[in-house]
Structure 1
Amino acid sequence: MQTSPVVKVLAAWVLAILLIVACCSALVAAMNSRLYSPEHRVERYLGALQEGDGGQALGLLDAAVPEGVDPSLLDGDALRAASAPLEDIEVQDARDTGADRVEVPVSYQLDGAAQTTLFELEQTGTTWGVFDVWEFTRTTLPTLRISAPTLDMATVNGMDVGLGDGATDLASFYPAIVTAQVSGPYLTSPQQQAVVTGSGDTPAQLDLATTTTPELEQAVTDRVHAFLDSCAAQAVFQPTGCPFAYVTTEPVAADVVWTIEEYPSVTIMAEDGGWALAPLEGSARLETTFRDYFSGAETDISESIAYQFEADLTVTGNAVTVTPIVDD
């Protein structure tokens, strides 16, 4: 029995439709396993971190930024610097963790040590009814604290960050490397580093132990010299607010001239989270001429007067203040 032409045409159409359906199903499966996969969303997030695109990264991660924290690490060069040290980054296959939920491990190397960050995602629906929609499980960005007592600024991931009362809290994406140090003209500190691997990390704290620079010692020395020079410029026996004086009742026949014979040696010490100066000692020379009450004879005077005083020292960023403390 021969098949009619109409049946042949219908069979051809059915076969074509089945082939189209099979191709579409294969395409949807391929798209869901790649462009619409949880792994791809993680890759896009990591790419945003490496590009310093904090807006895109935050939108993909859908994480909350804690209130009252510094966002300096969440965009631009500071964000790029946070992911730059990570090497051999590999997004691994998603693992089922429950209904419509997976975790995607991301492995990487840091300073030769292997690290892994787990990202949790959930399927929240489909696009056009066929393409899976995966989103990160909502979380809150981790924070870390930078502390440098008495300072108002630190360098974090190459960026100057303000320190209120000597400390600040910063929000961070993850995985990330956060480095902090003080590199001012008067105070410096060794670089400290923290690794942020996930949202559940215990908040890290980078305490920056500062040390003084030769420039600070020179700045303090200059201010001490300027103070003493201003005292010496007062042509009186007891310069106001100064550590040296000369007591006499003899009448004067010439100007009173002070010169600083020996300037103090400056020693800066750490004290109570700040800085202090050791007692300052030196000598000044007084030169003048006395006239005798009765005979009128004149006598030249040149005496060395030892002095000692203390001074408060305040160092904040690029500012140095030396406040002499002189007993009345």
Structure 2
Amino acid sequence: MSQALIKIAAGWLTGLLLAIAAAIVTITLVNNGAAGPQEPVREYLAALHNGDGAKALGLLRANVPAANAAMLDGAALKTASSRVDDVKLGSPEPRDGGQMMVPVEYTIDGSHLKTEFLLEKTGTQWLFFNKWSLVPSTLPTVNVSVVNSVEVELNGKPVNAPNGKASFAVFYPGEYEASFTSEYFTAAPQRATVTSAREELPGLNLATQANTALRNAVGGQLKKYLDDCAAEATKQQQLQPNCPFYHVSTNRVEDGTIKWAIKDYPKVSIEPFEGHWVVAPLKGTAQLTAREQDLFTGEISTLKVVHDFSFTTELNVGADKITVTPVVTY
């Protein structure tokens, strides 16, 4: 009986030792896997991909700076994360103070980039499993400026830019694109790639310009103004009408023969100036035909001259109306 009991006890002891060994292996595997330093990073990246800013912020344990929070949730955040491709999590690397660094490699617009996430132990779960959390940091910011506007689009979302400037808190890694398009003005998109919280990011400066629609609208009003001016000067038989063009002569010009026509219309250039849009000084040519008599010889001849002219305008671009007011000085 004693030998039988010894054999049973030995069997139980062997089983217990095997169970303990299996438990140790399991705990080690779990601590290196599901409860390892990579897991919070994996969850954080998934939250970015899903546009879940609240979860991402909780996992990152980051402070939010005093900036616009429009990029921290929803479609704008998903857009920033969607440009991150070929994501690969590297093996954790020990750092001072018991911390671990998890490298993440990826591409944005074909460029190979890397972000290092620092983690620390913040306790255990079920007595055996380590709990890892990202070391607290502060979110980076992207600064945006736009010429002559108080609104821009950032990652496709309309956002306010008081006085043409705004600062936005952002997650990383990600890419943020600022753009501006309206009926009469556009700006080439500008992009900022964010890879870490400590990164010095260049500002996104949108150089707004008048588009073809505005130039055509202004040009159309100017053409009508000049054509009407020439037609009225012809009707009134005036050599010096209230127009940008005029003619001075010491000869007598026969009434009924005066005819004005615009030969070259001004080219329209619209530029920003002190918070407004202005039309650059305009230049063109006008042609005058008439019959004139030399007061000394009495000879009558045909007059055909081309005069250069220039003038300025006042431009007002309203929500639904464009007004161009010519300013003529002599």
Counterpart for residue 272 of structure 1: 273
Q: How does 1:105-184 map to 2 (within 5 A)?
A: 105-184=103-182
Determine the C-alpha separation between the residues in 2 that align with 1:223 and 1:152: 27
Deviation larger for 8-17 or 183-192: 8-17
Residue 40 of structure 1 aligns to which amino acid in structure 2? Answer: E
Counterpart for residue 12 of structure 1: 11
Determine the C-alpha separation between the residues in 2 that align with 1:280 and 1:34: 72
Counterpart for residue 45 of structure 1: 44
Residue 191 of structure 2 aligns to which amino acid in structure 1? Answer: Q
Counterpart for residue 35 of structure 1: 34
What 5-or-longer segments of structure 2 have no aligned partner? 227-241, 244-260, 285-308
1:149-206 C-alpha deviation (Å, 9 max, x unpaired): 2112222112212211111111111111111111222111222111111000113201
Q: CA deviation at 1:94?
A: 1.0
Q: 1:17 to 1:163 in 2, by over 3 A?
A: same
What 5-or-longer segments of structure 1 have no aligned partner? 229-242, 245-260, 283-306
Residue 199 of structure 2 aligns to which amino acid in structure 1? Answer: D
* Secondary structure class of the residue paired with 2:163: coil
- Paired residues of 2:147 and 2:272 also in contact (CA < 8 A): no
Q: Taking every aligned residue pair, what percent have the same amino acid on both sides?
A: 32
- Paired residues of 2:145 and 2:165 also in contact (CA < 8 A): yes
Deviation larger for 178-187 or 10-19: 10-19
Q: How does 1:1-328 map to 2 (within 5 A)?
A: 3-67=2-66, 69-220=67-218, 267-272=268-273, 274-278=276-280, 310-313=312-315, 322=323, 324=325
Q: CA deviation at 1:53?
A: 1.2
Residue 126 of structure 1 aligns to which amino acid in structure 2? Answer: T
Q: CA deviation at 1:33?
A: 0.8
1:251-280 C-alpha deviation (Å, 9 max, x unpaired): xxxxxxxxxx98x86724214364202457
Determine the C-alpha separation between the residues in 1 that align with 2:115 and 2:321: 44
Q: CA RMSD in A?
A: 3.6
Determine the C-alpha separation between the residues in 2 that align with 1:324 and 1:217: 15
* Secondary structure class of the residue paired with 1:198: coil
* Secondary structure class of the residue paired with 1:88: strand
1:96-123 C-alpha deviation (Å, 9 max, x unpaired): 1112201111111223322111111111
Q: CA deviation at 1:90?
A: 0.7
* Secondary structure class of the residue paired with 2:44: helix
Q: 1:138 to 1:227 in 2, by over 3 A?
A: farther
Determine the C-alpha separation between the residues in 1 that align with 2:320 and 2:116: 45
Q: CA deviation at 1:131?
A: 0.9
Aligned residues: 281
Q: 1:4 to 1:272 in 2, by over 3 A?
A: same
Determine the C-alpha separation between the residues in 1 that align with 2:37 and 2:94: 11
Q: CA deviation at 1:87?
A: 2.0
TM-score by length of 2: 0.72
Determine the C-alpha separation between the residues in 1 that align with 2:181 and 2:131: 47
